[in-house]
Amino acid sequence: MDTLITCSVNGLVLSAIYILVALGFSLQLSIMGIFNFAHGAIYMVGAYVTYGLSVGLGLNPWVSLLLSVILVGAFGLFVERFCFRPFQSQITRMIVMAIALILILQTAVEVTLGGVTRALPAFVPGILRVGFISVDAERIFTFCIGAVLMASMTYLIQKTKIGQQMLAVAQDAEGAALQGIDTHRTAATATVIACATAALSGSLMATIFSMNPFMGDNILLKAIQVTILSGIGSIGGILAGGLIMGLLNAFLPVLTEASIGELITILIVILILLIRPKGLFGYELF
Amino acid sequence: MPIGSSPKQRKRITSIVFYATIIIFLALLPQLGLPVYPMHTLIGVFIWIIVASSLRLLDLSGQGSIGHAAFMAIGAYTSGILAKFLGWSPWITMPIGVLATGVIAFLVAIPFTRVRGIYFTMVSLFFGIGVLAVNQVFSKFTGGYSGIGSIPMLFGYNKTPYYYFCLALLVICLSIIYRMEHSRIGLTWKAVAQSHAVASSIGINEAWQRILCLGVSCCIAGIAGVAYAHYYSLLTQETFSFNTSINVFVYMTVGGPRYFAGPILGTAALILIPEQLRSLREYVPFIFAGILLIVLFLMPQGLAGLPDQFRQRFARSPKVKSLPAEEGVSKRAP
């Protein structure tokens, strides 16, 4: 019973983070048609900026979290304009660009702070006790932030003008441009949102687990898995896909060995790709 | 008609002479007193050129893969485990390793033909990670993260025989790739890459051609894998990780996937230049990234496309053949 509840809580927290990162990844994929392999590196940079501001400069952790989100969001603007826009619809060169970005970001962090594993102090320290169950308050907080952000992202995309513009560009960029939508501005907005959420989820994840310059590699793979599972361009699909992935990742290591659990997840993803390339809820991109 | 009279023949003879000169030069290097460490580096370069060229062969049929190191891993681990635990001679286990790679590649290619373009790339990515996960599951044999060490070596600790062995492998593999590319099969693969619908309409069995291409390409990657296993005599999880696959992909793209010389130049540049600047220690990845950025922004056709690029820029007459649009995963629709 205890294990079940711990696993569920962990699964939900993991799901929230996966969904946040995958949302950003999927937004960039559907709007710009780019596989942003550097998304994991940006997630890592977000965590390190928060660390640098709160531990290094001694700022209030909440202020540094906010500053990190803003700074990395602004960095997203730069990334979209100078790294992605010149290579739109050239996937091969796009991937190389992302690799260069990853190398630069990871090495920059490694050179300045060293490759050692660090921990970010919790934003909400303490343990919540409900009856006989006790959970880290930080995990509950992360889940709440994730849920609020997911709800606001869904609202943003479904109800506001900019969100509708994003959906239009994702469906057909030329058609959207003909309707007077500025596709470049839409792409920039999507990248900024993606980078900001990545920075937020990176900081939250660094408080629960630890952080090192290569923490983004794993989460990037998870984001790709969620995107494939749910299908491209479907917000509801990403919520479902992220939940499935998070729970799988929380329960499988308990039920079997960790390595077998990993293998099962990958087999599921490969099978989905082979049998239903558009994912459970999405549409085919190309 | 005498040999060398048509421009096409002349171009071909020039390129043969060019490649022969380079090969003879490389073959003479140990005789001219090449120190041990550069020789070690060059052996690595030879192995990775084989892998990058085989990846380009796969790319010819429109299958961009970012999991190619997995096939190398299958060959390397098969040969390494057989040689280490059963005590067989590497000369027997190496062909077995290559064969195993080919068989597995053919088997996985059959379901992989269901997906095209970017979806194939994704499947290859997760296949690569899946092979690593299998490696973890059977860590009793493969050693898991720490890997297997002290695999029997081919020629002991003297590096010169390895140098000639890998150079010979390189020449053989590149000749096979060159012949395949310029034969009917190569043309068929290019047709499949450009449009699978049109290719099918003129009687090309698209699925079979793609399976064949994956099989051949992965066999060649397997050859590089077994050479790696019995030269370095240490295989770990990191050796064939996702990063390795991505690196091979980058070697090919930076060199220029449209050109036969592309993967060769790309691999040589991206291994040798950071190697020369080794003294910068932790800043070396910046050099690597810098090369990538320079090539991306200044050389759209890759390193091997530089002559064409210059010819196009400084052409006097407008009759110069214009470059076709970039090939690769991006252009195709399923």
Comparing CB atoms, the residue among B114, B283, B326 nearest residue A274 is B114
Tell me how far apart the alpha carbons of residues B301 and A78 are, in angstroms, rounded to a whole number: 25
Q: Does A277 touch chain B (CB under 8 A)?
A: yes
Comparing CB atoms, the residue among A96, A103, A260 nearest residue B254 is A96
Domain count, chain A: 1
Residue among A92, A114, A112, A94 nearest A102 (CA): A94
CA B220 to chain centre: 8
The answer as to whether A269 is a domain residue is no
Residue B330: predicted pLDDT: 42
Q: Which amino acid is at B132?
A: L
**Residues in chain B within 8 Å Cβ distance of A284:** 334
Q: For the segment A103-153, what is each residue's pLDDT rounded down to a tens digit?
A: 999 999 988 887 788 888 888 777 877 777 777 888 888 888 888 988 888
Tell me how far apart the alpha carbons of residues A137 and A267 are, in angstroms, rounded to a whole number: 34
Q: For the segment A161-186, what is each residue's pLDDT rounded down to a tens digit?
A: 988 888 888 888 888 889 889 988 99
Parent domain of A192: 2-215
Which value does ipTM take for this structure?
A: 0.88
Residue B42: predicted pLDDT: 93
Taking the CA of residue A33 and the nearest CA in chain B, the distance in Å comes to: 10
Q: Helices A39-51 & A2-32, crossing angle to 10 degrees?
A: 120
The answer as to whether A209 is a domain residue is yes
The answer as to whether A272 is a domain residue is no
What is the percent of chain A with per-residue pLDDT over 90, rounded to a whole number?
24
| Shortest CA distance from A104: residue in chain B | B286
Extract the tokens encoding A93: 């060169």
Q: Is the pLDDT reported for residue A276 higher than 80?
A: yes
Residue B247: predicted pLDDT: 92
Residue A128 bridge partners (DSSP): A135
Q: Does A95 touch chain B (CB under 8 A)?
A: yes
Q: Is the pLDDT reported for residue A283 higher than 70?
A: no
Q: For the segment A6-63, what is each residue's pLDDT rounded down to a tens digit?
A: 888 888 888 888 988 998 898 888 888 788 899 999 999 999 999 999 888 888 888 9
Tell me how far apart the alpha carbons of residues A40 and A34 are, in angstroms, rounded to a whole number: 14
B211: DSSP letter:
H
Residue with the two structure tokens 């290569």: A214
Identify whether the C-beta of residue B78 lies closer than 8 Å to the C-beta of residue B223: no
Residue B215: predicted pLDDT: 93
Mean residue pLDDT of chain A comes to 86
Sequence-distant (6+) residues with CB within 8 A of B333 are: A286, B117
Q: Work out whether the CA dihedral A201, A205, A206, A211 comes out positive or negative.
A: negative
Residue A77: predicted pLDDT: 92
Q: What is the pTM of this model?
A: 0.89
Q: Cα separations (Å) of B314 from B274, B300, B305, B319, B325? A: 31, 16, 14, 12, 19
Residue B322: predicted pLDDT: 54
Comparing CB atoms, the residue among B129, B289, B329 nearest residue A100 is B289
The answer as to whether B198 is a domain residue is yes
Residue among B137, B58, B81, B71 nearest B104 (CA): B71
Q: Is the pLDDT reported for residue A80 higher than 70?
A: yes
Range list of β-strands (E), B179-330: none
Identify whether the C-beta of residue B193 lies closer than 8 Å to the C-beta of residue B60: yes
Q: Does A106 touch chain B (CB under 8 A)?
A: yes
Q: For the segment B97-115, what is each residue's pLDDT rounded down to a tens digit?
A: 999 999 999 999 999 988 8
The answer as to whether A230 is a domain residue is no
Tell me how far apart the alpha carbons of residues B132 and A260 are, in angstroms, rounded to a whole number: 11
Q: For the segment A185-215, what is each residue's pLDDT rounded down to a tens digit?
A: 999 999 999 999 999 999 988 888 888 888 8
**Residues in chain B within 8 Å Cβ distance of A103:** 285-286, 288-289, 292
The answer as to whether B235 is a domain residue is yes
Q: What angle do CA B215, B171, B239 make, to 5 degrees?
A: 60
Q: To probe the interface with B, which of A30, A34, A99, A248 has the most B CB atoms within 10 Å? A: A99
Q: Do B130 and A270 touch (CB under 8 A)?
A: yes
Q: Do B115 and A273 touch (CB under 8 A)?
A: yes
Which residues of chain B fall below pLDDT 70?
1-5, 316-334
Length of chain A: 286
Parent domain of B160: 8-243
The answer as to whether B204 is a domain residue is yes
Sequence-distant (6+) residues with CB within 8 A of A161 are: none
Domain count, chain B: 1
